[in-house]
Amino acid sequence: MTRPAVFLDRDGTLMEDLGYLGDPDKAVLFPETIPALRRLGDRFVLFIVTNQSGVAKGLIRHDDAHRVNERVRATLADAGVLIRDVYCCPHQKSDACPCRKPSPHFGRLAQSAHGLDLGNSFVVGDHPADVEFAANLGARGIYVLTGHGHKHRDEVSVACSVVSGIAAAVDEILCAGPA
């Protein structure tokens, strides 16, 4: 049996976007992140999918990005929120790699590894690439206005919901639910 998923962007969606973050101690979730994600319960399989171009640019090390991702994952786990996997693209846009959002690469990997129903899944993020990732997966995109959301809202070129932040995104997910 396949299950629906929620693919979550990290910076600007679950926590403040502090630029090229390499220090796990600075990874602080938005106050509403944990209560919002807890509301999803076990109805969805949760993933983080994050573009971390600072690695390719030499601004942070791959290990630093990994440590930040693991801190976020551990903080959520300690609060009862299971992130099944974290997918991190360390490339910059000009590298034209196959894993950088909006490519559906990591979503397809997750589908294969975890038996996901992408048609009933969601992607939540604060960049146009996040909701384009959703469209490329056949999932539903939810664009949040936190992080870079306000700045890039006019660049969104695919159909998606637009909400204030992660709590409103979870409201939207729970209202829509799996079809």
Q: Which residues are catalytic?
A: 9, 11
How far apart, in whole angstroms, are the C-alpha atoms of residue 44 and residue 59? 34
Which residues contact residue 143 at a Cβ distance below 8 angstroms, ignoring those fewer than 6 apart? 125, 126, 128, 130, 131, 149, 153, 156, 160, 161, 162, 163
Which residues contact residue 74 at a Cβ distance below 8 angstroms, ignoring those fewer than 6 apart? none
How far apart, in whole angstroms, are the C-alpha atoms of residue 91 and residue 178? 32
For residue 47, CA distances in Å to 29, 90, 96, 154 come to 15, 17, 23, 26
Length of the chain counted residue by residue: 179
